[in-house]
């Protein structure tokens, strides 16, 4: 049971680290760090969170669902912050940002639907349903990181 608690703790830390703004607990990017390096770092953090999610058993289904709901809620909050930042950009950048964020919100809505399937899974379908969710989660997280990188680059040049 201690191992499961450690896994859950590790997942929670990885999820929080992947979506939190920079703080004292997270390495701060150096002035010379490129957007590509930031993207690679965020991608690695997402992969670590996903790897930790693999360790959930059917008995931990409700914990997995709660953790993923929190992760998606944090992602939605970050999308709201990105949308607010885009409002101060040029009209063309703002329009493009709105389109990118809407596509990301659509993907997130589909992922929330998959999460409902995870909640309704049985012991015999757990691994397949969880795997399908994780694949969708990886896609959304990659899209989210790409959108965040694009926004950072666009807003830096505006």
Q: How far apart are CA 134 and CA 115, in angstroms?
A: 10
* pLDDT tens by residue, 61-81: 999 999 999 999 999 999 999
* pLDDT tens by residue, 78-117: 999 989 988 888 888 889 999 999 999 999 999 999 999 9
Backbone conformation region of residue 34, classed left if phi is above 0, alpha if psi is from -120 to 50, else beta: beta
Total domain count for the chain?
A: 1
Structural domain of 91: 2-157
* pLDDT tens by residue, 128-144: 999 999 999 999 999 99
Tokens 């999610």 label which residue?
Answer: 53
- Tell me what pLDDT residue 32 has: 53
Identify the band that residue 6 occupies on the pLDDT scale cut at 50, 70 and 90.
Answer: very low
Burial 124-137 (b: 16+ CB within 10 A, else e): eebeebbeebbebb
Q: Which of 88, 105, 91, 86 is nearest to 150 (CA)?
A: 86
Q: How far apart are CA 43 and CA 29, in angstroms?
A: 15
């Amino acid at each position: 049971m201690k191992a499961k608690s450690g896994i859950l703790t590790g997942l929670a830390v990885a999820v929080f680290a992947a979506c939190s703004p920079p703080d004292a607990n997270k390495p701060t990017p150096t002035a010379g760090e490129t957007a590509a390096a930031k993207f690679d770092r965020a991608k690695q953090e997402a992969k670590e969170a996903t790897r930790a999610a693999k360790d959930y058993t059917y008995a931990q289904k409700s914990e997995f669902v709660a953790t993923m709901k929190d992760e998606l809620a944090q992602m939605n909050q970050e999308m709201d912050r990105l949308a607010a930042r885009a409002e101060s950009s040029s009209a063309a950048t703002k329009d493009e940002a709105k389109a990118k964020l809407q596509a990301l919100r659509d993907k997130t809505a589909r992922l929330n639907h998959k999460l409902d399937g995870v909640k309704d899974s049985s012991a015999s379908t757990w691994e397949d349903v969880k795997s399908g969710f994780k694949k969708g989660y990886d896609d959304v997280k990659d899209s989210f990181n790409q959108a965040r990188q694009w926004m950072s680059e666009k807003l830096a040049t505006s």
